[in-house]
Amino acid sequence: MDYRVVNEFKEPTSEERTMGMLIYLLSFFTTIIGPLIIWLFKKDESEFINYHGKEYFNFFISYTIYGLISSFLTVILIGLVMIPIFGLMYLIFTLIALFKAHKGEYYRIPLIFRIIK
């Protein structure tokens, strides 16, 4: 395979970019199962897919925690404002990551905990 080095990462192939994009696209339909299947089967073959798989699951864990905290805060009405904001942020950051993966970029989603390294 012919790779050009971009910063510290190798430039992904067309197939790797498509699989990276599918991690985020399938998350709209199968929140965990679709991205997990792609990541588990392809993570050892591609550092690009491994990166985006870890990034997605860190993103998912973080926003699940944000959603739970917002749900608890509905008691004092702050959560009623926070839930739609976090929902919109989840949608926007997923779409940005989807397009960045398709372009072959290593996108770091903001405001997430890096639990899976």
Q: How many CB atoms lie within 10 A of CB 99?
A: 13
When divided into structural domains, the chain yields a total of 1
Predicted local distance difference test score (pLDDT) of residue 2? 40
Predicted local distance difference test score (pLDDT) of residue 8? 60
Domain range holding 26? 5-103
Predicted local distance difference test score (pLDDT) of residue 9? 62
Position 68 in a domain: yes
Position 46 in a domain: yes
Predicted local distance difference test score (pLDDT) of residue 22? 94
HSE of 16, CA atoms in CB hemisphere, 13 A: 19
Position 114 in a domain: no
Position 113 in a domain: no
Position 116 in a domain: no
Which residue blocks in 1-117 are alpha helix, DSSP H? Answer: 14-26, 33-42, 47-72, 78-103
Determine the Cα–Cα distance for residues 51 and 20; give it in Å rounded to an integer.
Answer: 9
Position 70 in a domain: yes
Determine the Cα–Cα distance for residues 7 and 5; give it in Å rounded to an integer.
Answer: 6
Q: What is the mean pLDDT of residues 68-96?
A: 90
Position 28 in a domain: yes
Position 115 in a domain: no
3-state secondary structure 66-84: HHHHHHHHHHHCHHHHHHH
**Model confidence at 1: pLDDT above 50:** no
Dump pLDDT digits (tens) for 2-57: 444 444 667 888 899 999 999 999 999 998 999 999 999 999 999 999 999 999 99
